[in-house]
Structure 1
Amino acid sequence: MLHSMSTSVEPVSDRSADEVNEEIRALWRRAGGTLSVEEREEYQRLVMEWAAAAPQPVHAA
């Protein structure tokens, strides 16, 4: 089975990582701990948005 990968670039979020994290938590609360296929897709999108919005650690040289 082949899976296609999207080559489109998602826009950078205008929301903070905290705002996205709260939406992730709300999704899990609404789902009661078990995500449907549609909810999993939303969760994956939110996690990617959160990762893009999260502060990146600075490594010392």
Structure 2
Amino acid sequence: MPSSPLPSGSPRSAEAVNEEIRALMAETGTWLWGPTRERYEQLRDEWVAAVRGEITTAA
């Protein structure tokens, strides 16, 4: 499981973040405890920001 902080620089697409969320969930069997939970929350926040950015760009 990657435990690196959110990347600085250009943001990743919502699709790329979603793939990492799916991989994390598959890896953990959907059990989110401790550092796994923290990583999921970071990814979720990154995904929300990416979706918002994509909606703003599309509009």
TM-score relative to the length of structure 2: 0.68
Matched letter for residue 50 of structure 2:
A
What is the rounded CA distance, in whole Å, between the counterparts of 2:55 and 2:31 in structure 1? 30
% same residue: 46
2:44 is aligned with 1:47: yes
Q: How many residues align?
A: 49
- Structure 1 unmatched runs, 5+: 1-10
Partner residue of 1:23 out of 14, 17, 20: 20
Matched letter for residue 56 of structure 1:
I
Deviation at 1:34, TM superposition (A): 0.8
Deviates more, 1:33-42 or 1:19-28: 33-42
- Structure 2 unmatched runs, 5+: 1-7
Structure (1 or 2) with the greater helix fraction: 2
Q: CA RMSD in A?
A: 2.1
* Runs ≥4 residues deviating over 3 A: none
Residue deviations 1:15-55 (CA, integer Å, cap 9, x gap): 10000000000000000121121111000000100011112
What is the rounded CA distance, in whole Å, between the counterparts of 1:45 and 1:29 in structure 2? 17
